[in-house]
Amino acid sequence: MRKIFYIAIFALSLTACQKELVETKVFGRYVPERKDDFAWENEYAAFRMYGPALRPENPSNGVDLWLKTSPELVVDSFYYRENVLGLPYHINYGKGLDCYKVGHTCGAGGLVVMPMSNRQLYVGGAYDRWQIIEQTPERLVFKLEYDSLMVDDHILKESITITAQAGTAWNKAQVVLTGDYDGELMAGGGIYMHDTVDNIETCDHCGMIAYAEDALSDKHAAELNYEYNGSRSQGRVYIAVMTPGPSMQGRQDGVLYTMQPYNVGDTLTYYFAAGWSEWSNGEKIDKSDEEWFESFKQMDREL
């Protein structure tokens, strides 16, 4: 009897260890059922970028942000509720919501390009091809390719490789632009700011920009959540972008950006991250805007 008891304990321990070993903390996939989105997430937030089926709606190559209440994976459940159950993911049913409107902008960390000849910001459209390079329970690497990024009347191609990893809110973006352009360019990451510019922080020596806003700054999301649960508040959204090394930072047309000189054909590396005041890892995290900004600075970016 004692032998059977120990065998049973061993089997339970082994099962628990196996479950721990295969726990998925990072996930991403191509989403054909939602107009070719490519969506991904880790413990802190979920993101998506727009594909060719959405092109008639004039999307951008910007990054959309989904907020999560906990490290639990939500991408598939959000799409299932929206596409199968008809429950909009713009409403928080308890797991989080999509309340950050991108439109034709860089969104929450997308690529921005500025020719020095006119100092205007440019973003692209929907991606043309996707590829998953690496996918494990704790790490995702994928590539999106764009055939026509219009910059100052020149058509460039964009390749962006994004790495997401467990344990950090930062995503790593590696961008290569190719094509015929011999003028001076600046390139980097940007944050689209909505109705009210509530709180901005820049860090010249670390190349970081950070932004906080009301999670329901988008009127459509605000109306849907009020109709569903009577709430006019879903907390605060935090977004940060970092271009390591000397960077030019500024604001233009509602976009906060951080950029570096860029030569066509080179690889630009920058990082983007997001958080939410309602996120919890076992207990309520009650941070101020400044504390969130400081946590981004301290968080590991070794992806």
**pLDDT one-digit tens code per residue, 131-149:** 999 999 999 999 999 999 9
Identify which of 283, 259, 212, 226 has the alpha carbon closest to the alpha carbon of residue 106.
259
Q: Alpha carbon of 228 to those of 224, 235, 293: distances in Å? A: 6, 16, 31
| Percent of the chain's residues with pLDDT above 90 | 79
Among the residue ranges 46-55, 74-83, 198-207, 260-269, the one predicted with the least confidence is: 198-207
Tell me: pLDDT of 13 over 60.
no
pLDDT at 21: 60
pLDDT at 20: 52
Among the residue ranges 62-66, 266-270, 284-288, the one predicted with the least confidence is: 284-288
For residue 204, what pLDDT band results from cuts at 50, 70 and 90? confident
pLDDT at 61: 98
pLDDT in tens, 221-254: 999 999 998 988 999 999 999 999 889 999 999 9
For residue 30, what pLDDT band results from cuts at 50, 70 and 90? very high
Tell me: pLDDT of 286 over 80.
no
For the chain, how long is the longest CA-to-CA vector? Answer: 83
Tell me: pLDDT of 209 over 90.
yes
DSSP 3-state assignment of 11? helix
Q: Which residue has the higher pLDDT, 15 or 55?
A: 55
For residue 68, what pLDDT band results from cuts at 50, 70 and 90? very high
Q: Is the dihedral of CA 178, 183, 184, 188 positive or negative?
A: negative
The domain spans of the chain are 23-298
For residue 10, what pLDDT band results from cuts at 50, 70 and 90? very low
In CATH, the number for domain 23-298 is 2.70.98
pLDDT at 215: 94
| Percent of the chain's residues with pLDDT above 70 | 91
pLDDT at 102: 97
Among the residue ranges 8-22, 188-202, 219-233, 288-302, the one predicted with the least confidence is: 8-22
Average pLDDT over residues 41-58: 97
Query: Are 151 and 185 contacting, i.e. CB atoms less than 8 angstroms apart?
Result: yes
For residue 186, what pLDDT band results from cuts at 50, 70 and 90? very high
Tell me: pLDDT of 3 over 80.
no
pLDDT at 284: 63
Strand positions, DSSP E, the chain:
27-31, 37-41, 45-49, 64-68, 96-97, 108-115, 129-136, 139-151, 154-165, 171-178, 185-192, 199-203, 208-214, 236-242, 248-252, 255-262, 267-276
Among the residue ranges 41-50, 142-151, 290-299, the one predicted with the least confidence is: 290-299
Sequence-distant (6+) residues with CB within 8 A of 85 are none
